Structure formats: C-alpha cells, structure tokens
A and B are shown apart, each in its own frame.
Chain A
Amino acid sequence: MSISKIGTRTYTLCMRELLSYFSSPLAYILTALFIFLLGWNFFNSLVLTKDNPNIELTESLITPIFVNINFLFLIVAPLLTMRSFAEEKKEKTLDLLFTSCLSDMEILLGKFLSVLGVSLFMISLSFIFPFMLFLSGYSDWSILLTSYAGTILNISSYLMIGLFLGSLTQNQILSALLTFCVLIFLLLLAHSVNFITNPYLANWISFISIANHFQSFSIGVVNTSDILYYLCTILFFAFLTHRSLGARKW
C-alpha cells in the first residue's frame, strides 16, 4: 500500500472532520468561551501584576495563561472528542469508513488530527496575550516556546483519552462525561500521593498523574521523562482506541 495513498485518505478524513467542526456552532461557541475566559483571567492577572511591580512577568502572567489553557481543556477536550466516534456510531456513519479503504489506524489518525487541529486553532488565539506582553518589552521566548510545546503534548493526551472513551459508546453525553471523569481522576491522582506512605508507590502514582508533567515545561525546562510520559499516554490510548475500533471483527 503506497504511503501517499494512506496520507491522502487520512488527510481527506481529517479535512472532512475539520469542515464538520467548523460548520457546526460547537467549535465557535467553545472557542468564544475559551478565549473569553482566558482573556478575563489574563486581565485579572494584569491588574494584580500592576499592583505588585516586584513580581516577575513570567510567574504572574505567562504561567497562568498556560495553566488556564490546560485547565479549560479538561472541559473542551471531552466536548470536542465526544463527536468523533460516539456520534458516528449513533448515526451509523462509521460503517461508511469501515467499509472503505481506510484502515482503522487511518481512521484514528484522521480523527485525532482533526480534533488536534481544532484545539490548535483555539490555542493559537492565545498568542494575543504574549504578543501584548511583547509590545510591553517581554522577551523570554524560550519559556513561551516550551510552554506551548508542553500544552500541545498535554492536550494531545487529553484528546486521545477522549477519543478512546468515545469509541466505547454511542452516547455523546456519556462519552464527554467519561472523558471528563478520567481526566479529573488523572489530575487528582497527584493529590493522593500525600496519603501514601510507601515511597515507591507514591512515586509511581505521582508519575502516572497527568498533573505533574506540565510544570517543567512552564518554567522553560524540557524534561525527557515528561515528553516520554505524554508520548506513552498518547500511544497507549491510541492502541486502546485501535483495539476498540477493531472489536467489530472479534
């Protein structure tokens, strides 16, 4: 099978999905809410920074932007991914893809790239805030770069988890709720470490929690173990989704 054909088919599916997102009000409503909340938070931070001139801009303004993006995506990711498989299962349009030349991996990749595309579009709107700071003389680009890289990796994990859970059901609301619960669980796992006396287990749970892996990116440090964590999470849930799609053959 030629790679160009695989690429063309995946691209075709991805574009269809993207057009579908942008032809429905969901993407616009989510984007509007997302940027409004982000802007409102940025404005509050700006007022606080103005009152405390000794505080660093990175700490007071840049880090909160990315913390907020990652937090908001706990809600946005389930809402974006609930359509991908759950809606198609309900409408029975997934059969069209299954009986086409698309492999399960191409379907998964096409769906993933499309939700990632919508997410990147939303994240790209946040460029306005660093740009405003740049106009005021802020120039620590490395922190911005690593923070955006960390955010994309973190959100990619959220999306892949959402795709997997969406592939298990044909109920969109259930898909969104399940994804939200799993993401919150993975986030809160970090807090349970305080109650565990076994250091080995505590370390292990701390590593599993999605909460602890973005911190290094937000201070401009690229940690290999964090990148590996995100990649492993994405690949693990991609594998599970692939198996879930293949369940029709069992």
Chain B
Amino acid sequence: MQELQTAITTENLCKEYYGRAALSELNLKILSGEIHALLGHNGAGKSTTMKILAGLMPQTSGNSTILGRIGYLPEQPPLYLDMRVRDFLRFVGKIHNVPTATLRSKIEEVVATLSLDKFCDRLIGNLSKGQRQRIGVAMVLLYDPQIYILDEPTIGLDPASLVELRQVIKQLQQKQKTVLISTHQLSEVNHLCDSLTILQQGRALYSGAMQSLQEMFKFNAPIMQLTLREYRPEVQKQLLDNFKEIKKISYHKNGEHTEIRVVTNIDRPNLQDEIMGTLMHYNCGILSFTQESFTLEDIYLKMTKQNHL
C-alpha cells in the first residue's frame, strides 16, 4: 500500500498576542487526503491556527509546513458585496490563475455543485448569510487547491445546504484533497472527519485519529448495563457507600433476572472493574455486561472540562 504523505505539519507552533498565548506548542500532522477537524471553544485558537497556516498571520515561534496550494475560507467569507455572484467567481478565478479557457466551465460546475444557480446573477450584498457562505465555499472550490482550510464553513447553513456541503467535502476526500475544518457541530465531525485536534486555550488536548480517541474512552464509559442472577437491596447500599463516583443506580426485574443500570461520573480508572468485583463478591452472578459508549460530544465536553484552568 502506498504510504500517505503529510500535507500539513506544525512543530511547536506558538502565537502570542500582546503577551497572551493564543497558541502554545501546537503539533499537528495531517495526512494527505485526510479530513481533519479542529475543535474547541470560542477563543481556543482554531482560527489563529488556520490564519497562520494560510499565511495571513505570522507565528511567534515554531514551524509549519504545507505541501500544496491552499484554499482558505475564513469564518466570514471575503466577498465583495457590490458584485454579482457570477462576476465575483470570475474575478476569483482570474486572480487565482484559473485558465481563461476553463474558467467558464469551472464556474458552471461550482454553481451546479452548490446550487447557486437561483441567485447567480444577484448582488452578493442582497443575499442571506447562508447563501454567502455557499458562495465562499464555491470560491474555494473554483481554483481547485490541494489543501482546503475551512473555518466554520457550516455557519448559517440550512439543513439541506449542510448535507450538500458534507457531500462536497466527502468528494474532495475522494479526489485525495486534504481538508482542515473547524466547526462547533460535533455531528459534522463524526460524519466527516478521519482525525481531529481538540484545542483549549491554545493547547492541544488531543490530536490524532478519531478512532483512537474513541478507543481511549471505550472502557471508560459512564453508564453500565448489567443483567444479574440475583440482586439484593444491601448490595445496592454497599455500592453506593463504597463508590462515591456512582451517581445513580436503577433496576428492574426481568423474569428471574434483574437488570441494573449504573450511572457514574468516572473520576478514576478501573472504576468499572471495581464495581463488577463488588457485585461478584456478593455473588450476584453477572450474566451480561454492556456499556453505553461515549459520543464525541461526551468526550469533547469531558476533555475540555477536565482541563479547564
């Protein structure tokens, strides 16, 4: 199998604004053809990272390497409000050296892809926020860069446009394009991304594959479902007394067996093993055990809350 090239690398990337650190030693490694998400609260350093990568802002220290031409879409798409959509796209194509011979067909292609045909001859200033956002995406698609840096491209999009954009990004991946995307919509990240970086106050709490992140939390889920042969009230009392981390225990009889649901706040590792150990100690007879896996939202909130300074 062909080894994938690294499209974006940052080494100890730092950015300070008037002595305040906006980015601290950020290390990213994004492979070619990968969709990578930047997650974080407002002010976590997502836009700063993107601006540095797009060459619009210098870093205070550290290095960044980008292999390929960049298409950058900032949070507020840079549109000339006094231009008509088609004229604007023609202008963008020309300043990005799109050959005149193919420019017309390219414009028609992006207009069709993002369903801009209904307002293609209207002034950009008269369009809604969502429509402007779509023009912003069209603008980047037009000159076909190798690397797409999209700062919150889903802002203001209606559900239909959201699905459309998701398909567009998936198609980019099929064309081996690299996409770095920042969004607050965690469902988008779940649907689209191969890897992610969680940023908090300029620091990366996690940077790597989505799968690895979910693996990390797999055995540490907050809710356990158990089917027991025997369950007595004193066992419940023991559990609640011994484990302060247990928030709630509910149970119901299912024929001869009892199904219990234990909700914890998982403050320490091996908690689930210890709970199971206690149940076995009281001869409850564990017939089955399942745990509800964490959603990305849970993981994100947990990580950012744990590391909140």
Are A and B interaction partners?
A: yes
Q: Which residues of A contact B (CB under 8 A)?
A: 5, 8-9, 12-13, 16, 19-20, 23-24, 91-102, 248-250
B283 at the interface (CB under 8 A from A): no
The answer to whether B78 and A13 touch across the interface, beta carbons within 8 angstroms, is no
A-side contacts of B96, CB under 8 Å: 100-101
13 interchain pairs (CB within 8 A)?
Answer: A9-B94, A12-B94, A12-B95, A19-B83, A24-B82, A92-B74, A92-B76, A95-B72, A99-B56, A99-B70, A99-B71, A102-B95, A248-B56
Interface of A is mostly: helix
Name the CB-closest residue of B to A5. B97
Docked complex Cα distance between A76 and B28 (Å): 50
| Interface band, chain B | 20 to 34
The answer to whether B95 and A13 touch across the interface, beta carbons within 8 angstroms, is yes
Name the CB-closest residue of A to B93. A12
Q: Which residues of B contact A (CB under 8 A)?
A: 54-58, 70-72, 74, 76, 78-83, 91-92, 94-97, 139
B-side contacts of A13, CB under 8 Å: 95
Contact A101 B97, CB 8 Å, known A20-B82, A248-B56, A248-B57: yes
The answer to whether A99 and B54 touch across the interface, beta carbons within 8 angstroms, is yes
Name the CB-closest residue of B to A102. B95
Docked complex Cα distance between A248 and B95 (Å): 20
The answer to whether A98 and B76 touch across the interface, beta carbons within 8 angstroms, is no
A-side contacts of B80, CB under 8 Å: 16, 20, 93
Docked complex Cα distance between A91 and B71 (Å): 19
Name the CB-closest residue of A to B95. A100
Name the CB-closest residue of A to B70. A99
B-side contacts of A98, CB under 8 Å: 55-56
Name the CB-closest residue of A to B91. A16
Docked complex Cα distance between A24 and B80 (Å): 13
Docked complex Cα distance between A101 and B95 (Å): 6
B216 to chain A, nearest CB (A): 36
B11 to chain A, nearest CB (A): 19
Docked complex Cα distance between A94 and B76 (Å): 12
